[in-house]
């Protein structure tokens, strides 16, 4: 038992004993993420991970960091904190997989106005679940109390991941060619972007987030908005093993118009068939409620597509089969064409 205690620090608003309790409560969740390279060291000064590069000619480490933005306010309003950590992991690991890297480990950072151990452990439970879904280890993190800077019930969450890929297997967008197909991997909804706009449209501070809404299939707005971001790592790793992949885009803030172009070389563009898109009801509800133009919707939200993948046309059927075998209801949404306009909705 840790006997460290500072009455003076507690009087200033920082309870270090609460921090120790939070660490003890989260250990059971961290244990779920144990992988071959992880060395148990929760509570130490650094997260240890033994890197296995067997079979790699030139291993490259790939890092990614992100938070969940103002979606966190929805979790606070609903007083439900056990899924927001999944979003945090997803925003990081879904980025590094875009170049073909397998996520190895993850660290989180929680800043809070007051350390309530059970609440912190609930947040970390979500982080651990995200790591399990991504196949990476939760090797450490940090929880910091910020009294006087944040209100007692307030908190923010960010994360950091490191992955590895053999240099010769990094996804090369320069192999992309006219006629390649664009595959959609469906999102679970809004994911973790555009929430500042959403909060304004629905005035969430005063809205009843629990009221069932017919347009959302009888679900409450809060429940729909808090749906965790989907993690695509395992399905994409399988795809990379079995097919040739010319590009992967994680559709986050900036929507189609900012993210898809990042995986397309100069001189080519993606022609997206709007009629092929499977757009969840929440997006139509947002657009109608806020009188938001179509262009802004596609330039802010994922519109039902969490990831886009470009493969050669002759490998399209195989790619779809692999993705579906690995739990993704993937479908064709367009093709690569010549031109300087990176994204065309037609």
pLDDT over 70 at 164, yes or no: yes
Q: Which of 69 and 14 is assigned the larger pLDDT?
A: 69
**How confident is the model at residue 192, as a pLDDT?**
96
226 vs 87: CA distance, rounded Å: 9
- Per the prediction, the chain carries an average pLDDT of 92
The span from the first CA to the last CA of the chain, in angstroms, equals: 64
DSSP 52: -
20 vs 3: CA distance, rounded Å: 10
pLDDT tens track for 181-223:
999 999 999 999 999 999 999 999 999 999 999 999 999 999 9
Q: Which residues contact 261 (CB under 8 A, 6 or more apart)?
A: 269, 270, 342, 343
* Helix, strand, coil distribution of the chain in percent, nearest 5: 40, 25, 35
Q: Which structure tokens are listed for 151?
A: 């209100």
**How confident is the model at residue 178, as a pLDDT?**
98
pLDDT over 70 at 4, yes or no: no
- Rounded to an integer, the average pLDDT of 103-132 is 95
**Where is 145: in which H helix or E strand?**
strand 137-145
- Rounded to an integer, the average pLDDT of 141-168 is 94
List alpha helices for the chain, DSSP H: 7-11, 16-31, 72-78, 84-96, 117-134, 195-202, 221-225, 233-242, 255-259, 281-290, 294-298, 316-325
**How confident is the model at residue 273, as a pLDDT?**
96
Q: Which of 203 and 19 is assigned the larger pLDDT?
A: 203
**How confident is the model at residue 31, as a pLDDT?**
73
**How confident is the model at residue 341, as a pLDDT?**
92
pLDDT over 50 at 95, yes or no: yes
**How confident is the model at residue 80, as a pLDDT?**
97
- Comparing 17-21, 166-170, 323-327, which segment has the lowest mean pLDDT? 17-21
Angle at 327 between CA 38 and CA 272, to 5 degrees: 115
Share of the chain above pLDDT 90, in %: 82
Angle at 114 between CA 198 and CA 78, to 5 degrees: 35
Residue 48: pLDDT band by 50, 70, 90 thresholds? Answer: confident
pLDDT over 60 at 43, yes or no: no
Residue 46: pLDDT band by 50, 70, 90 thresholds? Answer: confident
**How confident is the model at residue 180, as a pLDDT?**
98
Q: Which of 15 and 151 is assigned the larger pLDDT?
A: 151
Length of the chain: 346
144 vs 292: CA distance, rounded Å: 38
**How confident is the model at residue 1, as a pLDDT?**
46
325 vs 321: CA distance, rounded Å: 6
**How confident is the model at residue 37, as a pLDDT?**
73
pLDDT over 80 at 34, yes or no: no
136 vs 141: CA distance, rounded Å: 14
Q: What is the pTM of this model?
A: 0.92
């Amino acid at each position: 038992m840790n006997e460290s205690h500072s009455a003076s620090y507690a009087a200033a608003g920082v309870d270090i004993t609460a921090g120790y309790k939070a660490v003890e409560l989260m250990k059971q969740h961290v244990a779920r993420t144990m992988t071959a390279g992880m060395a148990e060291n929760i509570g130490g000064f650094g997260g240890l991970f033994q890197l296995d590069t067997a079979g790699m000619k030139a291993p490259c480490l790939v890092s990614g960091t992100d938070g969940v933005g103002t979606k966190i306010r929805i979790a606070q309003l609903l007083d439900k904190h056990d899924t927001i950590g999944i979003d945090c992991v997803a925003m990081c690991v879904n980025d590094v997989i875009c170049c073909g890297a397998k996520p190895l480990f993850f660290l989180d950072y929680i800043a809070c106005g007051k350390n309530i151990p059970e609440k912190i452990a609930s947040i970390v439970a979500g982080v651990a679940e995200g790591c399990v879904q991504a196949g990476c280890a939760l090797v450490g993190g940090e929880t910091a109390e910020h009294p006087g800077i944040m209100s007692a019930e307030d908190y923010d969450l960010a994360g950091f991941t490191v992955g590895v890929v053999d240099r010769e297997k990094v996804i090369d967008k320069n192999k992309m060619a006219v006629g390649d197909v664009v595959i959609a991997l469906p999102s679970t909804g809004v994911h973790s972007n555009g929430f500042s706009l959403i909060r304004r449209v629905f005035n969430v501070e005063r809205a009843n987030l629990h009221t069932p809404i017919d347009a959302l299939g009888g679900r409450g707005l809060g429940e729909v908005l808090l749906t965790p971001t989907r993690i695509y790592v395992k399905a994409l790793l399988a795809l990379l093993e079995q097919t040739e992949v010319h590009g992967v885009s994680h559709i986050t803030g900036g929507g189609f118009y900012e993210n898809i172009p990042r995986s397309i070389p100069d001189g080519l563009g993606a022609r997206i068939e709007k009629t092929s898109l499977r757009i969840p009801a929440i997006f139509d509800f947002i657009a109608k409620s806020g009188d938001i133009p179509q262009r802004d919707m596609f330039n802010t939200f994922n519109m039902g597509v969490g990831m886009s993948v470009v493969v050669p046309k002759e490998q399209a059927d195989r790619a779809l089969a692999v993705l579906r075998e690995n739990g993704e209801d993937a479908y064709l949404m367009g093709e690569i064409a010549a031109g300087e306009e990176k994204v065309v909705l037609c």
